[in-house]
Amino acid sequence: MPSRRTFLQSSLLAAGAAALPRALAKTGPSGAKVVSTWDFGVPANQAAWAVLAKGGSAIDAVEAGARWAETGQCNSTVGRCGYPDRDGFVTLDASIMKGDGSCGSVAALEGIDHPITVARRVMEKTPHVMLVGAGAQQFAIEQGFKAQDLRTPEAEKAWKEWLKTSKYAPEINVEQRAMPGNKENHDTIGMLAIDASGQLAGACTTSGMAWKMRGRVGDSPIIGAGLYVDNEVGGATASGVGEEMIRNAASFLVVELMRQGRSPAEACREAIERVVSKRPEASKELQVCFLAMNKHGEVGAFALHQGFSYAVCDAGKQDALLRSQSIYTSQKS
């Protein structure tokens, strides 16, 4: 099973190249681009690029890319294979946003395997921005989704193992800790796209923190925390311990810093510094990562701790995987 922990040492990788459909290589509109968090961003970007390459919209592209992450892989941190909360329930958070300010999200959604599409339906078919819990599931079923048990046998096994200690301990994804069988206990796919007509969109989807309290909602479905997009400036998305992003309205902060003239990388770095300045001691113990793209297609990222990777895909190259810089560069423990 692919994991971010298989991250290779070079800064620009060909990960996912084997899966790259030949027809997509060096094709598509020159202004279009899609970026996503983590290693699984490479194949997710390719799913999004299949839309952009045909002249499709940024919103369709990010939905397609996020849907791939939700079901096209089996990862312990996103979609149907996500690890459950401490009571054994898989609960999913997702948000989607267009550069014109339209947005929708779902939080603590159970039993529905494409929360990103439910979030888009909230945006397009309701007068609201966010639906949660049982109400979100009811809406999804009304929209034709089937409720199903998303807990995989592997997630169940991991949960039963976790119950032996019941210790809530979000891991910092430092690559030196990579080892066979060491599973992620949190991650998110955050994706930003710009289409041939210059429209921006973003999507963010996750099962949140493994072993979280029942009812816990992270940053991913909170517009401005896990995702923010503005056609006038650019977009930002986040991964890591979501409480920090919510405390700092972090994705909104990154976009506002770009509005003030920072490059995407500078804006992400400054937002990370804000996280550190608010809770210096806590920030040593947890991971926070930002990825941003401005309206010109310039991309930047920054993380608290080393280990954050992000994928970039455009007409020139569909499988670039880059390593983010970070405040802390050595292994914590």
CB of 240 to ligand ASP, least distance (A): 5
DSSP β-ladder status, 103-109 and 227-230: unpaired
> Based on CB atoms, which residue is closest to ligand ASP, 286 or 299?
286
**Catalytic site residue from 37, 188, 205, 237:** 188
32 backbone dihedrals φ, ψ, rounded to 5°: -80, 150
> Based on CB atoms, which residue is closest to ligand ASP, 220 or 326?
220
> Alpha-carbon distance 254 to 290, whole Å?
8
Q: Which of 218, 224, 235, 297 binds ligand ASP (CB under 6 A)?
A: 218
> Alpha-carbon distance 300 to 308, whole Å?
12
Residue 5 to residues 87, 242, 307: CA-CA distances in angstroms?
A: 27, 20, 9
By CB under 6 A, residue 209 contacts ligand ASP: yes
Which positions from 229 through 258 interact with ligand ASP, judged by CB under 6 A?
239-242
Q: Which of 75, 91, 206, 237 binds ligand ASP (CB under 6 A)?
A: 206
By CB under 6 A, residue 4 contacts ligand ASP: no
Q: Are 1 and 158 in contact (CB under 8 A)?
A: no
Our measurement of the distance from residue 90's CA atom to the centroid of its chain's CA atoms, rounded to an integer in Å, reads: 17
**Known catalytic residue at 188:** yes
By CB under 6 A, residue 186 contacts ligand ASP: yes
Helix (H) or strand (E) holding 157: helix 153-163
Q: What is the dihedral of CA 47, 177, 14, 67, to 10 degrees?
A: 0
CB of 56 to ligand ASP, least distance (A): 27
By CB under 6 A, residue 82 contacts ligand ASP: no
By CB under 6 A, residue 219 contacts ligand ASP: yes
CB of 284 to ligand ASP, least distance (A): 17
> Alpha-carbon distance 188 to 298, whole Å?
22
> Based on CB atoms, which residue is closest to ligand ASP, 186 or 295?
186
**Count of C-beta atoms within a 10 Å radius of residue 192:** 36
> Alpha-carbon distance 290 to 270, whole Å?
10
CB of 246 to ligand ASP, least distance (A): 8
CB of 206 to ligand ASP, least distance (A): 5
# residues contacting ligand ASP (CB under 6 A): 13
**Count of C-beta atoms within a 10 Å radius of residue 250:** 29
Query: Which residues contribute to the site for ligand ASP (CB under 6 A)?
Result: 186-188, 206, 208-209, 218-220, 239-242
Which residues have a catalytic role annotated? 188
